[in-house]
Amino acid sequence: MIGLLLLVGLAQAEPLDPSGVWSLTGQDTDGESYDGSVLFQPWGPALDVTWHTSIGDYQGVALVVDERLYASWGAGPGFGLAVYTRGQDRLDGRWVLWRDRSDPGTEWATPQGRIRRGWYGTWEVDGRAPGADGVRYLALLTVERVGRTTVLTWDTGESVYQGVGFRRGDTLVVGWAYDAAGGLVAYTPRGDELRGRWAIAGDRRRGRERLERR
């Protein structure tokens, strides 16, 4: 809920607040079933996420964007979540780090060469890290279509980050990680449940989850 207000400035009549513990059942990308629980806790501009499942425990960061809940995870501490909106000839981005209470970082991306379908191609990024005194950085961002997901790669010349995104209209939400493939799950409210679909960068397959509030 907080992340929605900071990142995209959209108002909702009844904002989705996922805070608390949910029971979880799911199916991984190999079609195997799993179960467990997930905890959402407010954490600065975002939500902290902890999954305890029969296939492993995971940490993540989440935001509510346009009535949906998006959460990303990574193998180490260097991961986060980004939200891009497509404008005329550029992308405007806001991004958060896992367990960072600072204000979101920002990115402005302009095309380098031909861009297909308004998204796919190479972009020149001018960004600032989270916090009031965020460090400025430059990068090349490559956006590609892989199966039903969008894969993004940022190259700063010193570091490489990779992420996976889900598009909805002029908005692209991305789970990214440093030096590894990021993962992203998108949860959609269905009555008292949250129905999720998730993906890992570079994998054409998707997993599924269903959450029920305890």
Q: Is 157 helix (H, G, I), strand (E, B) or coil?
A: coil
* Residue 163 tokens, joined: 């992420």
Residue at token pair 């005329």: 88
What pLDDT is recorded for position 14?
Answer: 67
Token couple for 118: 């308004």
Q: Which helix (H) or strand (E) holds 4?
A: helix 2-7
pLDDT reported for residue 2: 36
User: What is the predicted pLDDT for the residue at 132?
Assistant: 83
pLDDT at 180: 73
Q: Which residues are 70's β-sheet partners?
A: 63, 186
Residues 55-88 as b or e (16 or more Cβ within 10 Å = b):
eeebbbbbbbbeebbbbbbbeeebbbbbbbebee
Per-position DSSP letters for 163-201, written without gaps between them: EEEEEETTEEEEEEEETSB-EEEEEEEETTEEEEEEEET
Q: Which residues contact 136 (CB under 8 A, 6 or more apart)?
A: 126, 127, 128
- Is residue 174 within 8 Å of 165, Cβ to Cβ? yes
> In this structure, is the dihedral angle defined by the CA atoms of residues 167, 90, 152 and 69, taken in order, positive or negative?
negative
Closest to 64 measured CA to CA, from 145, 143, 4, 151: 4
Cα(179)–Cα(159) distance, rounded to whole angstroms?
A: 7
Helix (H/G/I), strand (E/B), else coil: 6: helix
Residues of the chain with pLDDT under 70: 1-14
Residue 202's pLDDT is 83
pLDDT recorded at residue 75: 78
Residues 33 and 103: their CA atoms lie apart, in Å, by 37
Residues listed for the chain: 214
